[in-house]
């Protein structure tokens, strides 16, 4: 089946499809091997040209790619014996948030993340990763479990933002997000946030106020989506590409500003092209940072955490 592709990568997908067919012929007739090698060379050169230096808007598109590994994929690949928590003990269960307890490399951890779903049915069930207040209250429950058992707290983030509907506002969406931010800033255990795809607005920051924020190379993290920014500034969603440029929302931009601790490289063309490779890199990165944090006293961790967030936006350095 032909892969999903954006306009700027159509030629690559076409050549890869042609290569697949020629490979089938080559398996029966060795005379096609020369054509196989020529196609492989063309594809590799074209990938370097197209994917070598993506624009901010192209990175936004990669972060939304329908085949990109979702938060649940990262949890399944990295967390053993995961036991999910259901409901918020107040109103309902929010499928846009997955949260619970498991083991990372033999170390017990508390985990939560935003879950978009992998197909249309799951997208609808999980509200495209846009959490309601009960989802953030579920995160609060798991944060409390992390403190109770003195275990690290990990978050995986891939959301366009918190759900903005009237019902969510009536049930305390702003309070739930603010409470998560407050709790994370004072959480008495090491915390780590990994932005795997979209990191949109308060829906992301609610569970991103960690000791260390890591980002995949083609993820983005922003106060607003490029489309939303374009609508507000220029009353024209079609200028989203321009907005992506001025928002400085890419992992490399944020790392240069000192807002992100580490950028995790993705395979050429996005992590959906080689999920196992990105799982390995994320695993190595999490292990490295947890090992560094776990040897510190909690007082030192809190002091470093608070100093980090106090300096954000400070222009008098």
Could you read off the pLDDT of 15-46 as tens digits, one per residue?
888 877 777 766 666 666 777 787 888 888 88
Closest among 187, 205, 185 to 195, alpha carbons compared: 205
Strand 107-114 to 97-104 pairing: antiparallel
d(CA 294, CA 272): 31
What does the mean pLDDT of the chain come to? 90
Q: What is the pLDDT of residue 150?
A: 95
Higher pLDDT: 1 or 181? It is: 181
Q: Mapping DSSP to helix (H, G, I), strand (E, B) and coil, where does residue 198 land?
A: strand
* Residue 317 located in a structural domain: no
Q: What is the pLDDT of residue 235?
A: 92
Q: Are residues 43 and 98 in the same domain?
A: no
pLDDT above 70 coverage of the chain, percent:
95
Q: Are residues 98 and 28 in the same domain?
A: no
Q: Are residues 87 and 116 in the same domain?
A: yes
Domain that holds residue 20: 7-53
C-beta of residue 273 within 8 angstroms of C-beta of residue 283: no
Q: Are residues 37 and 121 in the same domain?
A: no
* Residue 104 located in a structural domain: yes
Domain boundary (20, 37, 53) is at 53
Q: Are residues 271 and 213 in the same domain?
A: yes
For the segment 214-225, the average pLDDT, to the nearest whole number, is 94
Torsion of CA 114, 118, 123, 128, to 10 degrees: 30
Q: Are residues 35 and 108 in the same domain?
A: no
Overall number of domains in the chain: 2
* Residue 1 located in a structural domain: no
* Residue 316 located in a structural domain: no
Residue listed under structure tokens 């309902």: 92
Q: What is the pLDDT of residue 315?
A: 55
Q: Are residues 35 and 157 in the same domain?
A: no
**Per-position b or e across 109-146, b if 16+ CB within 10 A of its CB:** bbbbbbbbbbeeeeeeebbbbbbbbbbbbbbbbbbebb
C-beta of residue 286 within 8 angstroms of C-beta of residue 270: no
Q: Are residues 21 and 66 in the same domain?
A: no
* Residue 2 located in a structural domain: no
Q: Are residues 168 and 188 in the same domain?
A: yes
pTM of this structure: 0.90
Q: Are residues 216 and 270 in the same domain?
A: yes
C-beta of residue 168 within 8 angstroms of C-beta of residue 162: yes
Q: What is the pLDDT of residue 38?
A: 79
* Residue 84 located in a structural domain: yes
* Residue 255 located in a structural domain: yes
The first and second tokens of residue 44, run together, are 């590799």
| CATH code of the domain covering residue 234 | 3.90.226.10
Q: Are residues 228 and 111 in the same domain?
A: yes
DSSP structure class, residue 28: T
* Residue 276 located in a structural domain: yes
Q: Are residues 107 and 42 in the same domain?
A: no
């Amino acid at each position: 089946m032909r892969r999903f592709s954006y306009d700027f990568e159509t030629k690559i997908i076409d050549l890869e499809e042609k290569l697949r067919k020629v490979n089938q012929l080559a398996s029966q007739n060795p005379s096609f091997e020369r054509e196989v090698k020529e196609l492989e060379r063309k594809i590799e050169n074209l990938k370097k040209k197209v994917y070598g230096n993506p624009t901010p808007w192209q990175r936004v598109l990669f972060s939304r790619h329908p085949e990109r590994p979702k938060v649940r994929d990262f949890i399944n690949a990295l967390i053993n014996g995961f036991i999910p928590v259901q409901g918020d003990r107040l109103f309902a269960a929010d499928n846009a948030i997955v949260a619970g307890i498991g083991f990372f490399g033999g170390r017990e951890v508390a985990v939560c993340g935003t879950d978009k779903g992998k197909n249309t049915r799951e997208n609808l069930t999980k509200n495209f990763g846009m959490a309601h207040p009960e989802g953030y209250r579920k995160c609060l429950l798991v944060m409390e479990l992390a403190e109770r058992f003195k275990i690290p707290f990990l978050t995986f983030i891939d959301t366009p933002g918190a759900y903005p509907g009237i019902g969510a506002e009536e049930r305390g969406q702003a309070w739930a997000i603010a409470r998560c931010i407050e709790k994370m800033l004072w959480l008495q255990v090491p915390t780590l946030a990994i932005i795997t795809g979209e990191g949109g607005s308060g829906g992301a920051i609610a569970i991103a106020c960690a000791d260390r924020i890591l980002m995949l190379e083609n993820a983005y993290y922003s106060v607003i989506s490029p489309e939303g920014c374009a609508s507000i500034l220029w009353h024209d969603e079609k200028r989203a590409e321009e907005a992506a440029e001025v928002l400085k929302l890419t992992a490399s931009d944020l790392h240069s500003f000192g807002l992100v601790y580490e950028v995790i490289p993705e395979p050429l063309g996005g992590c959906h092209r080689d999920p196992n490779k990105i799982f390995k890199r994320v695993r190595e990165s999490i292990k490295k940072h947890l090992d560094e944090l776990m040897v510190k006293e909690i007082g030192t961790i809190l002091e470093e955490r608070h100093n980090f967030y106090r300096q954000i936006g400070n222009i008098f350095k």
